[in-house]
């Protein structure tokens, strides 16, 4: 596993593609929302991109938000949330929120790298994506207030160019087109898709199939 982690960390040596990659999965409405929102008192948030292995294949964890009266109702995202006064930085935010939302212990998340931050105009939040490695297959204990259910997706399927599609959505009275990732009938769009686009480019060429280097652990 040590050699794997070393190889993985080498993949995340910058510079990163940043906005160029992110905008490849940007909804058409993004510029419209940017013009409406004033970037004053921008809130900050951290989200966790968790890499783990299952049956020799690398996976990551998404969550589907419950339906609620808000801009991200029922959307698919990475675990994470807003910066809290107890957090020294947004890495800690991502770790804390992950433990609160899906029950993965903070001490078990091994930091790999922070990616390029991304501003979300509809909620006036600047999101910091953070990549972690989890040295076992996760067993979840979800917060039903914040999470409807967990979705595990392998990177090979997520990064497949055939997963990228386009659809029309509506916010208020505005119709707009957006690219999205269609994986097992899960539609990943918006800020999460933009983060995935950068991650996909960074991990291009990385061997996503590895011999099993750990066994399943259910003692967490």
Dihedral of alpha carbons 186, 99, 109, 134, sign: negative
Confidence of residue 204 (pLDDT cuts 50, 70, 90): very high
Per-residue pLDDT reduced to its tens digit, 105-159: 999 999 999 999 999 888 889 999 999 999 999 999 999 999 999 999 999 999 9
Supply the pLDDT for residue 174: 75
Confidence of residue 216 (pLDDT cuts 50, 70, 90): very low
**Backbone φ and ψ of 26, nearest 5°:** -80, 135
Q: Which tokens in the block code for residue 41? A: 């008192």
CB 189 within 8 A of CB 17: no
Cis peptide preceding 15, ω within 30 of 0: yes
Per-residue pLDDT reduced to its tens digit, 66-79: 876 655 567 899 99
C-alpha 58/C-alpha 50 separation (Å) is 10
CB 195 within 8 A of CB 129: yes
Model pTM score: 0.90
For each of the domains in the chain, give its residue range(s) and CATH number, in order of start.
Answer: 2-202 (3.90.79.10)
Locus of tokens 């993949």:
11
């Amino acid at each position: 596993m040590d050699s794997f982690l070393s190889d993985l960390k080498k993949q995340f040596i910058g510079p990163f593609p940043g906005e160029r990659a992110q905008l490849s999965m940007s909804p058409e409405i993004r510029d419209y929302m940017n013009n409406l929102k004033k970037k004053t008192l921008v809130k900050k948030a951290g989200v966790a991109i968790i890499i783990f292995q299952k049956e020799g294949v690398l996976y990551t964890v998404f969550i589907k938000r419950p339906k609620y009266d808000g801009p991200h109702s029922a959307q698919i995202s990475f675990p994470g949330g807003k910066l809290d006064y107890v957090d020294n930085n947004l890495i800690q935010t991502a770790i804390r929120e992950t433990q609160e939302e899906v029950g993965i212990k903070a001490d078990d998340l091994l930091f790999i790298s922070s990616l390029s931050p991304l501003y979300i105009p509809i909620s006036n939040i600047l999101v910091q994506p953070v990549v972690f490695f989890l040295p076992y297959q996760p067993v979840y204990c979800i917060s039903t207030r914040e999470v409807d259910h967990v979705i595990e997706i392998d990177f090979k399927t997520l990064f497949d160019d055939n997963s990228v599609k386009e659809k029309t959505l509506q916010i208020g009275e505005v119709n707009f087109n957006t690219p999205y990732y269609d994986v097992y009938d899960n539609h990943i769009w918006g800020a999460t898709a933009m983060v995935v686009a950068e991650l996909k480019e960074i991990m291009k060429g990385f061997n996503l199939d590895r011999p099993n280097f750990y066994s399943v652990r259910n003692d967490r």
